Amino acid sequence: MEKSAAMRRDWIATARTLSEALPYLQRYDGATVVIKMGGHAMGDDRAMADFARDIVLMKQCNVNPVVVHGGGPQIGEMLKRLSISSEFVGGLRVTDEATVEVVEMVLSGRINKRIVQAINAQGGRAVGLSGKDANLVICEKALRTVRDPDSNIERVLDIGLVGEPVETHTELLRFFLESDYIPVLAPVGAGRGGETFNVNGDTFAGAIAGGMKAERLLLLTDVPGVRNAEGEVLTQITAREVRAMIADGTISGGMIPKTETALKAIEQGVGAVVILDGRAPHAVLLELFTEHGAGSLIRA
C-alpha cells in the first residue's frame, strides 16, 4: 500500500512538472536553439543517452535543436595512438596537414556518428554534417598574437589550419529544421582555397547560432557557469558586465573564449547565450523549460 501511494505521489509530481512547463513550451514554440555539446556527456554512455533523449523531447515539443559537438580529448587520444605530436597556443591546437586529417576523421566520423546514433536510438531522426557540407561554415586562417614578457613586443603566431568562421550559409540547416530531422554538426570548416580547417567548437557553435539568429545558444561545459569575484555563480549577466569582468580578471582562463563567443553571438542577433553545467542531469531541459534555469544567461 505504501509503495502504491509513493508511486502515485511520483506520478502527481511528474504531472505537476509537465503542467508548470507549459508557459516555457509556449515561449520556445518554433524557436531555434543551438546546443554546443562537450565535456562529461561526450565520454559517458549514460550521459550521452540522457542528452540524446532530451534533444528528441525538444524536437517533439516543436523546438528546433541544432547540436554542435567538440572532441578535443578524443582527438588528442588518436594523435597519441598515431604518434603525431601536438601542442596548444592560446587554447587552440596547432594544426598541420597531418593533424587536420585526424581532426576531421575523429570529429566528422567517430564522434559525430556516435551522437547521431544516440539520438536515433531515442526515436529521433538525426543527420550528421560538418561545416564543409553545403559550405555551411567558410573559414579564414586564425592567427594568435603573443606578447614577449621581457620586451613587451607582440608577435603573430602561425597555428596552422585553425579556422576562424567568416561566413555561414545556413539554408541546408533551415531545410532540416522545417522537417523532422535534427542536425548534428562537427566543427570542421572549409576554406575558400579548398582547405580543411579545425575550428574551436564553441566558436563554431556561436557562428552557427549567429547565422541562424537563434533564440538561444547553450554552451554545455564542466563548470556550473560564470562566477563573480566572490566565487558565486551568476544566473544572469549583461554583455557590458561580461566585458568588465574580463577586463578586471574576474573572468579568466577557459571561460574567456566562452564568454567572448557569447558576446559575438549576441552581436549577430542571438537572443541570449547560456553557459551551463552539462554534468547536471537534463541541464538543457532545466534551462529551457523551468523557472529555475541551469546556468549563467548572458543577454545584451
What band does 291 get if pLDDT is binned at 50, 70 and 90?
confident
pLDDT at 1 > cutoff 60: no
Please state, in angstroms and rounded to a whole number, the distance separating the CA atoms of residues 284 and 290: 10
What band does 295 get if pLDDT is binned at 50, 70 and 90?
confident
Written as one letter, the residue type at 275 is I
Q: Which residue has the cell 557540407?
A: 133
Sorted by sequence, the CB contacts under 8 Å of residue 248 that are 6+ apart come out as none
Q: Is the dihedral of CA 105, 106, 108, 110 positive or negative?
A: positive
**Stretch among 187-191, 214-218, 244-248, 254-258 having the lowest mean pLDDT:** 254-258
Most confident by average pLDDT, 205-209, 252-256, 296-300: 205-209
pLDDT at 237 (0 to 100): 93
Angle at 220 between CA 231 and CA 129, to 5 degrees: 160
Please state, in angstroms and rounded to a whole number, the distance separating the CA atoms of residues 163 and 140: 5
pLDDT at 226 (0 to 100): 92
Average pLDDT over residues 11-39: 82
pLDDT at 109 (0 to 100): 92
pLDDT at 3 (0 to 100): 62
What average pLDDT is seen over the chain? 88
Q: Over the stretch 82-130, which tens digit does the pLDDT of each residue have?
A: 998 887 776 677 888 899 999 999 999 999 999 999 999 999 999 999 9
pLDDT at 159 > cutoff 90: no
pLDDT at 293 (0 to 100): 73
Most confident by average pLDDT, 154-168, 202-216, 242-256: 202-216
pLDDT at 264 > cutoff 60: yes
pLDDT at 239 (0 to 100): 93
Q: Over the stretch 35-55, which tens digit does the pLDDT of each residue have?
A: 999 766 676 888 899 999 999
Q: Are 186 and 69 in contact (CB under 8 A)?
A: yes
pLDDT at 25 (0 to 100): 83
pLDDT at 124 (0 to 100): 96
Average pLDDT over residues 60-70: 95
Sorted by sequence, the CB contacts under 8 Å of residue 194 that are 6+ apart come out as none
What band does 7 get if pLDDT is binned at 50, 70 and 90?
low
**Stretch among 96-110, 158-172, 178-192, 278-292 having the lowest mean pLDDT:** 278-292
pLDDT at 121 (0 to 100): 97
pLDDT at 252 (0 to 100): 85
Q: Within 13 A of 2's CA, how many CA atoms are on the CB side?
A: 0
Q: Which residue has the cell 524557436?
A: 31
| CATH architecture of the domain with residue range 29-299 | 3-Layer(aba) Sandwich (3.40)
Global pTM?
0.89
What band does 17 get if pLDDT is binned at 50, 70 and 90?
confident
Q: Over the stretch 174-185, which tens digit does the pLDDT of each residue have?
A: 999 888 999 999
Average pLDDT over residues 262-287: 92
Question: Residue 269 has which C-alpha cell?
Answer: 542577433
